[in-house]
Amino acid sequence: MESIFDILYIPMGYILRFAYSLTNNYLTSIFLFTLVIELLLIPIAIKQQKNQIKQASLAPKAAAIRKKYAGRTDQATQQKMQQETMDMYKAENFNPAGGCGPLLIQFPIIICLYNVVTRPLRYICNVPNTQIEALKNTLEGLGHEIGASNTQIEMINLIRGNVSDYYSVAPALEKAVIPNFHVGPLDLSQVPEISFKPFNWLMLIPVITFVVMIISQYIMQKFTYQSPEAKDTQNAASMKIMMWSMPLLSVYFEFKLSAAIGVYWIFRNILQLVERIVISKLFPIPKFTEEDYKEAERQAGLSERQKKKEAKENKKFVRSLHHIDDEEYIEKHKEELAELEAEKEVKNVPEKKVGETSSAKNAPAPIKNDEKDSYAAKNSDSDKKPEEKQDNK
């Protein structure tokens, strides 16, 4: 192992070499290589499908949360709705990003395949780098010009007719499988170029890749679960950009890389489409009725009323209806609310200073005239002695 990346390059080179030894055709060997890679990735594809099934099973609860905040488009409400949705996902042990594995793993595969295709002497023929360098020096000494790009591919094209002449320079060639990159008029080791005179058939590979990717994406949408919020933005500009950007980006790279990379992309999209259809039949996405959504809404409403009841019993202050999250508001302004509460207590129980007379506001209400007469008569009767009261009787 001469490089840390050989951990990936050597196994992929072995798969491509074994496929070529079976078919003796470079195009067919790329198809078999793609098939083996997709078979190895089936567990990840099944995990992605199960992740979609889990997300679909939580659709009624997610819809109930969205309906609770329907019509409120302010940022605070949207953040609260997203937070409640993520809390619900966390409680249900669901990771929304759990289905991104197949997308992320494709990039290392493409990078590895590029190195295997552009360095066939090392990874398909399994010739050490020291012998490859010695072989290059020998060919240049014989007057052959070796370009800076596709160096090993040019070297294979030069020695294919008389490989045995170079066994002394590179002994590993004696047992190596020397691939032939030509498939009819096409040399899959070359980079496609736009040319009409003469017509370059390799430039059809990026075009075919673009068409296959667009069609496969359209069909795969029929067998892939899409959340309601994703459907709402399906016709938005961002979704259209995503749908067209990847195929266009692939076309751009295919005019920079070997044609074998484009062939791999074509086979990969076709196999992934078949794989998606089969897995969706084996692990179908659950479907829910209107009653299921109503039941989720009732459960969400009951839970919300219970929360409001508990909050009403425990709250100390009147909470503003302008704040979507009263707990956060009270926590943020607890010092201010404490001062307001203290001021209320001071106003309700005023402190009386020493020597201070009662103010008119705190004095008893004045007695009316008729109340004065009855008050005076009552006091005069109480002042008389018992004997006088008896005489009056």
Over residues 156-201, the pLDDT tens digits come to 888 888 888 899 999 999 888 888 888 888 888 888 888 888 888 8
Distance CA 247, CA 230 (A): 21
Q: Which residue has the tokens 């003469």?
A: 198
Lowest mean pLDDT among 142-146, 269-273, 343-347: 343-347
Which of the four pLDDT bands, split at 50, 70 and 90, describes residue 8? confident
Q: 135 in helix, strand or coil?
A: helix
Distance CA 340, CA 334 (A): 10
Euclidean distance between the first and final Cα of the chain, in Å?
133
- Residue 199, token pair as written in the block: 């017509």
- Residue 309, token pair as written in the block: 């009841």
Q: What is the pTM of this model?
A: 0.67
pLDDT average, residue stretch 347-352: 56
User: Could you tell me which residues come within 8 angstroms of residue 57 by beta carbon, excluding any fewer than 6 positions away?
Assistant: 286
Which of the four pLDDT bands, split at 50, 70 and 90, describes residue 302? very low
Which of the four pLDDT bands, split at 50, 70 and 90, describes residue 318? very low
Q: What percent of the chain has pLDDT over 90?
A: 13
Closest CA to 271 of 86, 81, 109: 109
Max Cα-Cα span within the chain = 160
212-226 b/e (C-beta count within 10 Å ≥ 16 → b): bbbebbeebeebebe
Distance CA 227, CA 54 (A): 11
DSSP class of 166: G
Which of the four pLDDT bands, split at 50, 70 and 90, describes residue 244? confident
**pLDDT higher at 345 or 209:** 209
Residue 221 has pLDDT above 50, yes or no: yes
How far does CA 344 lie from the centroid of its chain? 51
CA angle, 380 as apex, 376 and 385 as ends, to 5°? 170
Distances in Å between the Cα of 68 and the Cα atoms of 72, 80, 84, 96, 367 are: 9, 11, 11, 21, 59
Which of the four pLDDT bands, split at 50, 70 and 90, describes residue 300? low
52-78 b/e (C-beta count within 10 Å ≥ 16 → b): bebbbebbbbbbbbeebbeeeeeeebe
User: Could you tell me which residues come within 8 angstroms of residue 248 by beta carbon, excluding any fewer than 6 positions away?
Assistant: 210
Mean pLDDT of the chain: 76
Distance CA 131, CA 120 (A): 13
pLDDT average, residue stretch 218-224: 83
Q: What is the pLDDT of residue 140?
A: 87
Q: What is the pLDDT of residue 278?
A: 93
Distance CA 81, CA 84 (A): 5
Distance CA 328, CA 179 (A): 68
Lowest mean pLDDT among 13-17, 161-165, 189-193, 365-369: 365-369
